[in-house]
Structure 1
């Protein structure tokens, strides 16, 4: 069992990595692939330098009992390149005997307890899938942005699990997932897209592999540090998603996949593009308010939604995490502004371009008073 964690000098590893090294599982290795030429982890954990390894790129290798540090000299091939280099290095080094699975985790995510790996292995065996996507939960650390991110990931997890139960087309979302090594080493990650997770998901379905999603295991992630980081993240996702959609649209439609999965592929591929409709509706309502034109009952319902959604988000998240209730109506305005970012990213992707892989700056919990509930 390998746990692969891509990083670029990520300070969150100081909080998350010890929890991955403390898992109650007998046979596993944690591999951190570092893209910013930082070997600070080697000093912190007393890793020894064992030499350079040549895959598609040269990698410096530092090793310890459970931890491997793979240092690259840049972000070649984006995140997909980092993951490919990590897996190729692990195959070449062969630190474990007959490993069957690989867990993909983002550097800002941590397990809720020491039995994450055991639950993940149990889930992939029970579901019989080639890749099983767990649920990504985000810490609520006190802001409206945190509330929006937390709720959106709860909704996303619900949709993924629902699509799995309906035998549609659940996808790998880039983190908190366990996969069999064989399909990954056969297909590899695409290195020309910032949404390498969606790209691999579609190619897995096209090649007869299966993906399932479950509530059985989850991780805690850190929310974006500020609204600027959040917008950059959304621009990256929206531009990459539409590019993957247009890249595989004809192949999916011509494939022998069930109709339901093809429809689900269209839904997933255009999810950010629907921001254009959202923007149009809101602007139309604003125009009617300014001009004093009569509102229909449906428009009044939509206006009521815009007024209460922020309060609803706050009450839900704050009650869920037992934090002091500080309701406000900022989240719907963030959502409205984010729609413009999604539209910009969609247009960028349609022009054949993507917003580069820039690591999302995250909040750290060690300087804050809130912590995840068990």
Structure 2
């Protein structure tokens, strides 16, 4: 029996140590950010004559947002004769007819605008971008997803960095049109702020690899070609091309002060679909490019950071393992003194959980120096949502490891915003839905299980465990019940954006 106790405990501690390792990496990112964020890139010189830019807009069934997208692109502060607009449309619904009308309007206003419609979605988004490049006239390619609304001055603030011939990509920081729309969008914004403000800035300005975010960035067309072009053997073609280009010695620039606003998914199924695609795609990229990174001539510290970045989603598997080990550990823990327990658990807690809180607070402080403290109340929600997403994302990791193929599942967009704390429109009915799975059922059972574990801890007077475990049932119930609510609305014919 004693052997079994120690077996449970050692496995539990090892899972926590693995999570602590990734937590330590977060703290390293914060350190690099604080050390290097002041090193803003400088424009080498300015173009005497602005170059031709091709704006590529890949869309698939975006009837709610395609007009908004084209309208915002038409408002770019850039000469019409230096702008080519490509709407890369793979749609199978009325998006195409809406787009045709909008493209005709742009052509009537003097824009070089074209609709490129594909019946065959080979390669999904990567295939559409690759197809568009065949007729792209610009030396530079500005890519925008359908849910983005670029600020008019974005090209003027970015294009002159390309006077340096070795710059292959300029990436802007995403903003959030509907940050305050509901609790889910609020927490999503915090997750993305951590990645975009801290991670991207720290990696880029400290000389590490950093990646194109798939949209809101401008590529030098020569760089895309030199790196081998768009490939569609992963679900994150942006990350794949980024690593291949940097391995070819192209340099990238991340401009955290230049914001390109976008719409966040407003419902749980859309968020899960997006996270599944990003998680699975990153592991596919890990398998594809990590060997090449270690064979490259880059310094060891660059290779180590790239490894931590590409393997970071394995933390979802560790979190799932932890879920199975928590209850046995509370019941069958080996005898040891309180001081020994403290010596083991306090450092682990600081790196595994405390690092998450510190990381996301730092991102809010960097972006909102006068109001960052208002976000503290959402940190428990962030922790709970991260736990609740573990089943969805762990499944994505396993699918990538087992080479299970899946299509590029779009994230539904509805053209909703929340500006100045007021909803900009009434709820909109839509037939767009994310693909359903059995994941919510499993999440619900996990929620029930952890509710039992939570009550058990309370009845045994273990308040420390009670506080530590509280986000687990909350997270699993939130992700599962939110998905059930969407399915119920669809079944009753009342599918709406919240």
TM-score range, shorter chain: 0.7 to 0.9
Unmatched runs of 5 consecutive residues or more in structure 1: 50-61
1:218 match: 259
Distance 1:184 1:221 in 2: 24
Identify, as 1 or 2, the structure richer in strand: 1
1:308-328 CA-partner distances (Å, limit 9, x unpaired): 96xx87xx6998599999858
1:352 match: 403
1:58 match: none
2:183 match: 144
Distance 2:343 2:323 in 1: 15
Distance 2:106 2:72 in 1: 21
2:172 match: 134
Equivalent position to 1:188, from 223, 229, 237 = 229
Distance 1:72 1:154, change over 3 A: same
1:54 match: none
Distance 2:295 2:162 in 1: 29
Residues 161 and 167, structure 2, Cα contact 8 Å, conserved in 1? no
* 1:23 maps to 2:76: yes
Distance 2:375 2:278 in 1: 32
Residues 182 and 266, structure 2, Cα contact 8 Å, conserved in 1? no
Distance 2:420 2:250 in 1: 43
Shift of residue 39 of structure 1? 3.2
Structure 1 segment 319-358 matched on structure 2, within 5 A: 329-358=380-409
What TM-score comes out, normalization by structure 2 length? Answer: 0.62
SS class of match (1:247): helix
Residues 90 and 120, structure 2, Cα contact 8 Å, conserved in 1? yes
Distance 1:82 1:371, change over 3 A: farther
Residues 211 and 239, structure 2, Cα contact 8 Å, conserved in 1? yes
Residues 273 and 410, structure 2, Cα contact 8 Å, conserved in 1? no
Distance 1:216 1:323 in 2: 22
SS class of match (1:89): coil
* 1:264 maps to 2:310: no
Distance 1:274 1:151, change over 3 A: same
Distance 1:124 1:298, change over 3 A: farther
Distance 2:186 2:292 in 1: 38
Distance 2:421 2:406 in 1: 32
* 1:102 maps to 2:170: no
Shift of residue 82 of structure 1? 0.6
SS class of match (1:273): helix
Residues 185 and 264, structure 2, Cα contact 8 Å, conserved in 1? yes
Computed over aligned residues only, the root mean square deviation of the Cα atoms, in angstroms, reads: 3.5
* 1:276 maps to 2:331: no
1:56 match: none
Distance 1:268 1:63, change over 3 A: farther
Shift of residue 209 of structure 1? 1.8
Unmatched runs of 5 consecutive residues or more in structure 2: 1-52, 424-498
SS class of match (1:160): helix
Structure 1 segment 1-374 matched on structure 2, within 5 A: 1-10=53-62, 11-26=64-79, 27-37=82-92, 38-46=96-104, 65-90=111-136, 94=137, 99-111=138-150, 113-125=151-163, 129-139=167-177, 140-157=179-196, 158-186=198-226, 187-281=228-322, 284-285=325-326, 287-288=328-329, 296=342, 299=345, 302=349, 329-365=380-416, 370=421
